[in-house]
Structure 1
């Protein structure tokens, strides 16, 4: 029984969301997405953690989904402040993709600077 408990613990640890900013409190966007935001005078820096529900995810699909999730959260935050943002520069988005113990993509983390539209 202890072996099964240890295996379950290892499997769940392999599927956890990457936390490059472990010292920051994460807010929940939806069931699969958490984010943290740091406001600066000309916009904000956004970090999003996204978990995949699909069993098989390709790296290219994961990258696209992670960037789309980042954009959705950024637009939602801007809407709450009743402001518009500039388009997100894909070259400035930093992505980290984590894999489960089986090698499948399990989660991603994306960070990008977001600027207010002038």
Structure 2
């Protein structure tokens, strides 16, 4: 099992976070019931706004986001701003920016927060836009 320090050094060295690294950090956070990432460390990566995803992850995320836009260009999930961002996005634009606690008062359930060209969202049953 990799230590957190080795995962963090791999991320910093590569300049992006892989799907398996992200899943490991999420699983450990949920198991320990606290975020295992230091947000000071997170701000030290790249431009300080989060960690880029791999292009493959970006393609998956973009495909998932686009499925909530109807063929006529409307959406029950997004507003005009979000539709514009998604339509003009590329797979390289996705950034991991931390974890959101979707649990209740007794149990924590951490979910990933992603940024896409100024839009922040949490993938749930459908995207939960937070910014």
Q: Same fold (TM over 0.5)?
A: no
- Which structure has more RCO (C-alpha within 8 Å, separation ≥ 6)? 1
Q: Shorter-chain TM-score: which interval?
A: under 0.3
More helix by share: 2
More strand by share: 1
TM-score with structure 2 length normalisation? 0.23
TM-score with structure 1 length normalisation? 0.24
